């Protein structure tokens, strides 16, 4: 199966066709994707700002992670599900767009970074969270997350501009 065939198959899925052909479905789902971003990227931004030392330094990282984690995960669920639907509606265009694949790769690396942070630091947050200046590894994970998610956001916003000619 070639890439084009895969794209066409995804494009022709029932949900892809419905969203593409409806006047309102596209902006409604786009709006939900945007709100998902405010929850997912928005809240992870504040976790990263805490890790890098720019937000509520006197509050233990564990408390911030604990308070925001479920809203953040809810946001990612909303962003990802609406993202998949938006992708299906334009699969044949997106599948050939380098900036789309760059976005997907950056999401993958941001995920790896978050997983690494969770396994290495998140599980034993009690050992280091009292420190005023956090361990270098923790701050590094915060900066990496900030940069990677900003990259994801940039790629996402550029898609309609770089994909217009397709």
| CA dist., res. 109 & res. 104, Å (int) | 9
- The residue whose two tokens read 């809810």 is 74
Q: Which of 39, 85, 110, 114 binds another protein (CB under 8 A)?
A: 39
Q: Binding string to another protein for residues 44 to 63, with x set by CB under 8 A, is what?
A: -xx--------xx--x---x
Cα–Cα distance measured from residue 14 to residue 109, given in angstroms and rounded to the nearest whole number: 31
Q: Which range, of 4-12, 38-46, 81-89, 105-113, touches another protein by CB under 8 A?
A: 38-46
Among 34, 115, 119, 166, binds another protein (CB under 8 A): 34
Residue found by looking up tokens 């956090």 in the block: 134
Length of the chain: 166
Using DSSP, state whether 24 is helix, strand or coil. coil
By the criterion CB under 8 A, which residues form the site for another protein? 26-27, 30-31, 34-35, 37-39, 41-43, 45-46, 55-56, 59, 63-64, 67-68, 71, 150, 153-154, 157-158, 161, 164
């Amino acid at each position: 199966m070639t890439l084009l065939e895969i794209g066409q198959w995804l494009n022709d899925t029932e949900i892809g066709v419905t969203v593409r052909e409806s006047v309102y479905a596209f902006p409604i789902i786009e709006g939900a994707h945007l709100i998902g971003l405010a929850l997912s990227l928005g809240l992870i931004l504040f976790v990263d700002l805490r890790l890098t030392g720019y937000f509520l330094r006197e509050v233990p990282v564990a408390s911030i992670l604990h308070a925001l984690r479920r809203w953040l995960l809810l946001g990612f669920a909303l962003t990802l599900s609406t993202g998949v639907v938006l992708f299906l509606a334009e699969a044949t265009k997106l599948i050939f767009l380098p900036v789309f694949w760059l976005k997907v790769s950056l999401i993958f690396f941001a995920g790896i970074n978050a997983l690494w942070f969770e396994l290495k630091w998140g599980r034993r947050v009690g050992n280091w969270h009292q420190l005023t200046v956090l361990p270098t590894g923790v701050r590094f994970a915060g900066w990496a997350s900030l940069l990677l998610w900003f990259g994801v956001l940039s790629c996402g916003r550029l898609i309609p501009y770089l994909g217009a000619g397709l």
